[in-house]
Every structure is written in structure tokens, then in C-alpha cells.
Copies of this chain bind each other. A is one copy, B any other.
Amino acid sequence: MSSWLDEVRWDAQGLVTAIAQDAHSQRILMVAYMNRESLQLTAQTGIAHYFSRSRQRLWKKGEASGHLQTVSELRLDCDGDVIVMQIAQAGGIACHTGRESCLYRKLVDEQWVVTDAVLKDPDAIYGGHTGH
């Protein structure tokens, strides 16, 4: 039991929100969840690990796509339920849609407008399987 992990305020499902921010551009690339195991692995290995709520399992980001995230900093928020990571994104693609960032829609005149191009076809990334 590591005490730094005990300071995290895990929710009823044992998760915290985890934000991946590009260490260079400071753009927010994705937001997902971590359980205790994934946060510990992230800190130990320096590679971002999440917990997939849809698949209910540990998820090493990039395990299918090769789009690994190398973590240079971990921060915890004031009430302990948010982690922010400074990362370097392999391939420059964080989103399963093949875009740099998952935040590719912007509100303009009461419409969500896509602002980012698809850099790589998801079929080419995942070989026909969707995923991160």
C-alpha cells in the first residue's frame, strides 16, 4: 500500500478522472478514468494506463494503436478526484477517431462544429476494430 495512492479520492467505482495534456502544446488531448492499478502502473512505467469503463478492464493507452502516451508529470487536484498528466503523444493522435485530440468539436452558434481533421483513418489504426 503506497500512501500517495491512498490520498486519491476514488469514487464508488474505484475510479478517478484522468486528463492527458500535451506537455508541449498544453492542448488537452483526452479525458478518461483510472483505477488504483492503472494509476500505479502509470507512475511506475511512465506510460499512461487507464481503466476502460466500457470494457471494465485495465487499458494501456496505445496497446492496439501504438499511440502510447509518455508521462512527464502527474498532478492531483484539491479534492483528490482528478489527475492531470503532462504527456507526449506517440503518433500525434490521441483520439480513437484518428484526430490529435478528443476535443475536436467547438460550440459555434449553438452547434458543435468539428475543427480538427482526421489524421489517420481509424480502420488503419485499429485494423477494423474500434478502440483507443
Contacts and interface: CB of A to CB of B under 8 A. Distances in A.
A2, A4, A17: most-surrounded residue (chain B CB, <10 A): A4
B106 A73 contact: yes
Interface residues of A, number: 36
A106 B74 contact: yes
A110 B4 CA distance: 6
Contact of A77 (B31, B73, B82, B84): B31
A58 interface: no
Contacts of A43: 107, 110
A24 B36 CA distance: 33
Contacts of A21: 28
B4 A107 contact: yes
Contacts of A2: 110
Interface of A: 2-4, 7, 17, 19, 21, 25-28, 30-31, 43, 73-79, 82, 84, 95-97, 99, 102-107, 110-112
